């Protein structure tokens, strides 16, 4: 089991000079833990993200390290990928949301070419509001992908040239990642509205797309609340999101 742990001095949580909690990355055997079946969520129910309880588990020094960048990395950690620190992992949290939005748009287009809403004579695809919604959804998704891919390509080129990410580059990675998830949710919202009554039916996938993408917006690494920390960096302030120090 890989887990984070805060350090306490008595009842007081230890904090670093930056004010952030001192956090350790720890490893311990799964046999010493208990998995709690508590993943009862609106969407993304298939991820199996259950809780884990570890009580009075001893973690030796060699399996507890500070959560932070290596100060003197060895040769095995000197490549460009390692210079990107946690930011590829942050960006990976975006992929499910983008995939959900892509599937929602594609499935809606397929449905709209065949369906005529009940009590009407106008096919779904010939309705102006439907045309508007699907076009806006495609634009939001495409723009978000372009921004994300552009930022990731930019930092990858820097890493290949031997540069580590400065605070500005980390902020751009965060901004592009959070924006992509928000835009994916907005794209699905457009499709959900355009689908009408079909959007709420279990036999149609749109209600699942709606639930899953909105669960993605709540992930701490990419939630809209990260915009505030990015804005703090842009305005020359210290960000309140501790992962910017990694």
CATH code of residue 156? 1.20.140.10
CATH number of 31's domain: 2.40.110.10
- Cα distance between residue 137 and residue 194, in whole Å: 10
Residue 119 has pLDDT above 80, yes or no: no
**93 and 56: one domain?**
no
Q: End of a domain among 67, 99, 117?
A: 67
Residue 121 lies in a domain: yes
Residue 54 covered by a domain: yes
Same-domain pairing of 147 and 236: yes
Looking at the predicted structure, is the pLDDT value of residue 106 above 70? yes
Task: Please tell me the predicted confidence (pLDDT) of residue 214.
Answer: 97
CA atoms within 13 A on the CB side of 201: 6
Average pLDDT over residues 85-100: 95
Query: Residue 179: is its pLDDT beyond 70?
Result: yes
By mean pLDDT, which of 64-73, 114-123, 126-135 is the weakest? 114-123
Domain's final residue, options 67, 86, 107? 67
72 falls within a domain = no
- The confidence score (pLDDT) of residue 70 equals 75
Report yes or no on 92 lying in a domain: yes
Residue 118's pLDDT band (cuts 50, 70, 90): low
Do 195 and 224 lie in one domain? The reply is yes
Please tell me whether residues 162 and 86 are part of one structural domain. yes
Residues 22, 113: one domain?
Answer: no
- Which pLDDT value is given to residue 165? 92
State residue 194's pLDDT score: 93
Coil, strand or helix: which one is 214? helix
Residue 97 lies in a domain: yes
Listing DSSP states for 152-186 in one string gives HHHHHHHHHTTPPP-HHHHHHHHHHHHHHHHHHHH
Domain identity same for 133 and 168: yes
Total domain count, the chain: 2
Q: Which of 24-28, 41-45, 107-111, 175-179 has the lowest mean pLDDT?
A: 41-45
Between 19 and 77, where is the model more confident? Answer: 77
Average pLDDT of the chain, as a whole number: 92
The domain in which residue 226 lies consists of 77-245
114 and 57 within one domain: no
Q: State mean pLDDT over 183-201.
A: 94
Instruction: Confirm whether 151 is domain-assigned.
Output: yes
Q: Which residues contact 188 (CB under 8 A, 6 or more apart)?
A: 100, 101, 104, 137, 209, 210, 213, 214
Q: Which of 67, 85, 105 is the last residue of a domain?
A: 67
Query: pLDDT at residue 68 above 90?
Result: no
Per-residue model confidence (pLDDT) at position 122:
76
- At residue 121, the pLDDT reads 67
When mean pLDDT is compared across 43-47, 96-100, 206-210, 219-223, the lowest value belongs to 43-47
Average pLDDT for 6-15: 93
Cβ partners under 8 Å of residue 3, min gap 6: 25, 26, 28, 52, 54
pLDDT score for 61:
92
Is the domain of 59 the same as that of 129?
no
| Residue 206 falls inside a structural domain | yes
Among the ranges given (59-73, 153-167, 174-188), the one the predictor scored with the smallest mean pLDDT: 59-73
Nearest to 2 by CA among 82, 89, 91: 89
Q: How far apart are the first and last CA of the chain?
A: 21
Q: Is 162 part of any domain?
A: yes
The answer to whether residues 62 and 81 belong to one domain is no
Q: Are residues 96 and 169 in the same domain?
A: yes
Q: Is the pTM of this model over 0.85?
A: yes
pLDDT at 124: 85
**pLDDT score at 114:** 85
pLDDT value of residue 76: 87
Distance CA 70, CA 205 (A): 45
Asked whether residue 133 falls in the same domain as residue 40, the answer is: no
- Do 37 and 148 fall into the same domain? no
Residue whose tokens read 């670093």: 16
3-state secondary structure of 60: coil
């Amino acid at each position: 089991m890989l887990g984070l742990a805060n350090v306490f001095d008595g009842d007081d949580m230890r904090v670093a000079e930056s004010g952030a909690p001192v956090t350790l990355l720890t490893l311990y055997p799964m046999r010493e833990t208990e998995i709690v079946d508590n993943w009862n969520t609106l969407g993304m129910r298939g991820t199996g993200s259950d809780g884990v309880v570890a009580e009075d588990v001893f973690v030796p020094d060699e399996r507890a390290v500070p959560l932070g960048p290596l100060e003197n990395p060895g040769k095995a950690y000197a490549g460009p990928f390692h210079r990107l620190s946690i930011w590829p992992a942050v960006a990976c949290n975006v992929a499910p949301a983008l995939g959900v939005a892509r599937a929602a748009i594609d499935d809606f287009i397929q449905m709209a070419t065949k369906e005529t809403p009940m009590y009407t004579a106008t096919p779904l695809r010939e309705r102006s509001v439907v045309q508007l919604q699907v076009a806006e959804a495609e634009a939001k998704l495409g723009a978000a992908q372009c921004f994300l891919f552009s930022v990731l390509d930019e930092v990858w080129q820097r890493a290949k040239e031997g540069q580590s990410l400065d605070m500005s580059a980390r902020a751009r990675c965060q901004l592009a990642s959070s924006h992509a998830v928000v835009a994916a949710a907005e794209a699905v919202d457009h499709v959900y509205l355009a689908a009408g009554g079909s959007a709420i039916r279990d036999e149609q996938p749109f209600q699942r797309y709606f639930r899953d993408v909105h669960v993605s917006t709540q992930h701490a690494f990419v939630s809209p609340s990260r915009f505030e920390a990015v804005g703090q960096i842009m305005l020359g302030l210290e960000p309140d999101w501790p992962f910017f120090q990694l």
